[in-house]
Amino acid sequence: MTEAAKEKAYRVHLMVCAGTGCVSNHSFEVKDALEKEIKKFGLENEVLVVTTGCNGFCERGPLLVVQPGNIFYQQLTVKDIPHLVEEHLLKGRPVKKLMYTPPKEKTPIPVLSDIDFFKKQVLIALRNRGLIDPEKIDEYIARDGYVAMGKALTEMAPEKIISEISISGLRGRGGAGFPTGLKWQMVRNAVSSNGGEKYLICNGDEGDPGAFMDRSILEADPHSVIEGMVIGAKAVGASQGFVYVRNEYPLAIKRMTIALEQARAYGLLGQDILGTGFDFDIKIVRGAGAFVCGEETALIASVEGRLGEPRQRPPYPAQSGLWGRPTCINNVETWANVPVIIARGAKWYASIGTPTSKGTKVFSLVGKINNTGLVEVPMGITLREIIYDIGGGIPGGKAFKAVQTGGPSGGCIPKEQLDLPIDYESLTKAGSMMGSGGMVVMDEDTCMVDVARYFLSFTQDESCGKCTPCREGTKAMLDILTRITEGKGTEEDLVLLEDMAHAVKDSALCGLGKTAPNPVLTTLRYFRNEYEVHIRQKKCPAHVCRQLNVYTINEEICLNKGKGCDVCRRNCASEAIQGAKNEAHRIDQSKCIKCGVCFNVCNFGAVKVD
C-alpha cells in the first residue's frame, strides 16, 4: 500500500509494539499475521496496523493495543491471530483469553489504563509511547510535536528558554542530576575561542546491565529528542549536534536515522528552520559499546575519534568540550523532557515531584519482579509503590531482599528503606544514586556478597585503566570479594575492603571509578552480617556461592521415597556419590566439586544444601 493510499481514516488502529523486547519475541511476525488475516476478512480498508515503540510492559510481550477502546492484548503468538481478528475485528467481541490477568487473580483486565502497571505512571518523556509510529514524522506532529520548537524559535529569546528550563527544575537524567538550565547557561556564556562554533551532544551511551530507558526513547519517539535538541541549540547558540548511540542498539540507530531524514525533509533541521533563519543539524555517532564512554569527557574523546578515556575536569565540557569548544551534553531522557517543558510551561513541570527533584523519571524495572518493564513515575514516589503497585511484587511468593538503583555503580537498598521517596538526594543519602534509571530487584535467593562481586566485576572489566585507583583498586577489591565468596576471606579482608572502597571513591578520575565501590559500600552497610557469615562460618545463607555449599543426601528420603533411584550417582561428574541402585546414596565430601547437579536432578528432595 502506498503512503498516499494510507492517508484515510480507519475505524480501528492496531498498535503493535515494536520495541526491541517485543521484536525479539516475534512481534513483527505477529504484525504480518495480523495484516494477512485482516486482508482475508476484507477489513483492510477499516483496520490499520501500526508499529509503535516500546509500550513498557515488556514482561508480557508481544503486545497489541486495539484503538479505540484501549484494549490490551499480551503474549500473542502468530497462532492467536486468526481467532483474534475474526472475533474482535470482524464480530466485535474482544478475546478475553488473550488479555492480561494479574498474578493471583482470575479475571482478565481488558483496558490498558485499568491495569496496575500503567495506572500510577505519569508520562512525560514517554508521552508518545504506544501512540505513534516512530518512523512517521506526521504522527509525532499530530501529537503536538514540534510545536514547542516553533514557539522557541519564533517567540522566545535564548535567555527566556534557559530561564524556563531553570525554573522547571529539570536536572540531568543521565544520573548525576546537574541542573540542566545552569548547564545551558554555562554553555551560552562560554566564549568559543576558535571560530565561534558551539556543540550539542545527546548522550545515548546507555551501558548499565538491565537498563533500556534511553534505547526505548530513541526507538519509540526519536523526534522528541530531536525537538529537544533544536530548542537547546537555540538556547546555547549551537549549530551542530551529535547523537551518540551505542552500536548494539541497531533499532534505535535505524529509527533515529529515519527521524533525522524526515525532519530534514520538512525543514525542521538544517538551514533556516521553519523559515526563522536558525540553522542547526544533527549527526549520529555510533559508539563501540564501552561503558566508560557514558562519562561525558570520555564520550567527547570518542566522538573526536580518540580513545574513549575520561580526562580531568575542569575545564568542563560547557567551557571546553568537543574539539575544545563549548559543548552542551545531556542525556536522551533529558532532551525528551525539554519540548514538554517549553510547550506546557516551567511552572506546570515544577509542580510535579519533590522540592529538589522535579518532573518524572524513567526506570527500567528488572530482576526478581513480576512486571518487568519500562516505567515513568513522578519523582517522590516510593520504592514500595514502584516495586509492589506497578511492578506487581516478587514472583513465586519469595521475600523481597534489596533493590539496586543506578546501575552497576549504584547501591543496594534494603527493605527497611522501601518507603523511601525517590529523588536525587534521598537515593544518594541511602548510599545509592539515581543513575540513569536501572532498577534491579532482588529476592531472598540473592547473595548480597555475590551481587557486590558481580557488579564490581562489571565495572572492573569496563574500567579504562587510565587512573590507578580505578584500575588497581577495583581489581584488588574484586580479589577480596572473590576470596570471601570462596570461603577464604578473613576479618581483615573486610576492613581492607571498606578502606579501599573509600579510597577508590575519593581518588578515582571519573564517575566510573568514583561510583564503582557503591555496591560494595551499600551491601557492607545494609548486609554486613552476610559478609560475616561468609567469613566466619564459611557459609552462604542464600546458597549462591557454590564453593561454600555442602551437599548431603538424606538417606531416609533417598531410600523410602526415591527407592535409591540412582539418578544422582549417574549424573555426578566427579564420581563423588556412592550407593547401589535401590539402596541409600551418600556423597563423599572429599570428591564433591559442589556443582549442584545432584541437587537439581533429585526428584524426591533427598539432596540437601547447607
Partner 1 sequence: MPKLTLEELAKIREKTKRLTTVRAGGEYRAKICVHMGTCGIAAGARTIMNVLMKELEERAVSDVLLTNSGCAGLCSREPMATVELAGQAPVKYVDLNEKKIKEIFEKHVLGGHIVTQYALGIGSEKTDL
The alpha helices in 78-172, defined as continuous H runs, are 81-84, 116-119, 137-142, 147-155, 158-168
Among 5, 9, 191, 573, binds partner 1 (CB under 8 A): 9
The CB-of-335 to partner 1 minimum distance in angstroms stands at 20
Pick from 370, 345, 373: nearest CA to 358: 345
Name the residue nearer to partner 1 (CB basis): 129 or 325.
129
# residues contacting partner 1 (CB under 8 A): 39
Among 69, 196, 209, 465, binds partner 1 (CB under 8 A): 69
The CB-of-118 to partner 1 minimum distance in angstroms stands at 12
Neighbouring-strand partners of residue 16: 51, 64
The CB-of-218 to partner 1 minimum distance in angstroms stands at 22
Candidate ranges 64-72, 223-231, 350-358, 476-484; the one touching partner 1 (CB under 8 A): 64-72
DSSP output for 250-266:
HHHHHHHHHHHHHHHHT
Binding residues among 140-159 for partner 1 as defined by CB under 8 A: 141-142, 144-147, 150, 154
Among 46, 116, 425, 486, binds partner 1 (CB under 8 A): 46
Q: List all residues 6 or more positions away from 417 whose beta carbon is below 8 Å from its beta carbon.
A: 383, 430
Residue position matching grid coordinates 505513534: 132
Site map for partner 1, 237-266, x if CB under 8 A? ----------------------------xx
Name the residue nearer to partner 1 (CB basis): 138 or 444.
138
How would you class 43 by CB atoms within 10 Å of its CB: exposed for 0-12, middle for 13-18, buried for 19 or more?
middle
Among 1, 2, 3, 7, binds partner 1 (CB under 8 A): 7
The CB-of-45 to partner 1 minimum distance in angstroms stands at 7
Neighbouring-strand partners of residue 60: none
Candidate ranges 83-91, 397-405, 536-544, 577-585; the one touching partner 1 (CB under 8 A): 83-91
Among 32, 44, 139, 304, binds partner 1 (CB under 8 A): 139
Site map for partner 1, 117-136, x if CB under 8 A? --------------x-----
Name the residue nearer to partner 1 (CB basis): 272 or 556.
272
Are 125 and 335 in contact by the 8 Å Cβ rule? The answer is no
Are 217 and 333 in contact by the 8 Å Cβ rule? The answer is yes
- The 3-class SS string of 435-446 reads CCCEEEEEECCC
Site map for partner 1, 16-45, x if CB under 8 A? --------------------------x--x
CA distance 170 to 90: 47
Pick from 70, 187, 154: nearest CA to 119: 70
Name the residue nearer to partner 1 (CB basis): 140 or 531.
140
CA distance 101 to 602: 33
CA distance 17 to 58: 9
H/E stretch holding 68: none
Are 308 and 292 in contact by the 8 Å Cβ rule? The answer is yes
Q: Are strands 438-443 and 400-405 parallel, antiparallel or unpaired?
A: antiparallel
The CB-of-168 to partner 1 minimum distance in angstroms stands at 24
Name the residue nearer to partner 1 (CB basis): 150 or 393.
150
Candidate ranges 2-10, 18-26, 74-82, 335-343; the one touching partner 1 (CB under 8 A): 2-10
Say whether residue 277 binds partner 1 (CB under 8 A): no
Are 538 and 499 in contact by the 8 Å Cβ rule? The answer is no
Name the residue nearer to partner 1 (CB basis): 2 or 312.
2
Are 594 and 544 in contact by the 8 Å Cβ rule? The answer is no
Are 270 and 228 in contact by the 8 Å Cβ rule? The answer is no
Among 91, 563, 570, 581, binds partner 1 (CB under 8 A): 91
Torsion of CA 537, 541, 545, 551, to 10 degrees: 80
Pick from 3, 98, 82: nearest CA to 43: 82
Binding residues among 148-207 for partner 1 as defined by CB under 8 A: 150, 154
Name the residue nearer to partner 1 (CB basis): 141 or 496.
141
The CB-of-73 to partner 1 minimum distance in angstroms stands at 16
Name the residue nearer to partner 1 (CB basis): 96 or 283.
96
Torsion of CA 316, 204, 437, 456, to 10 degrees: -80
| Grid cell locating 443 | 529476592
Among 3, 4, 5, 68, binds partner 1 (CB under 8 A): 68
Name the residue nearer to partner 1 (CB basis): 128 or 331.
128
The CB-of-153 to partner 1 minimum distance in angstroms stands at 9
Among 267, 355, 465, 605, binds partner 1 (CB under 8 A): 267
The CB-of-93 to partner 1 minimum distance in angstroms stands at 7
CA distance 455 to 344: 40
Among 15, 253, 342, 524, binds partner 1 (CB under 8 A): 15
CA distance 116 to 539: 40
CA distance 447 to 100: 32
Q: Which residues bind partner 1 (CB under 8 A)?
A: 7-13, 15, 42, 45-46, 67-70, 89-93, 113, 131, 138-139, 141-142, 144-147, 150, 154, 265-268, 272, 274-275
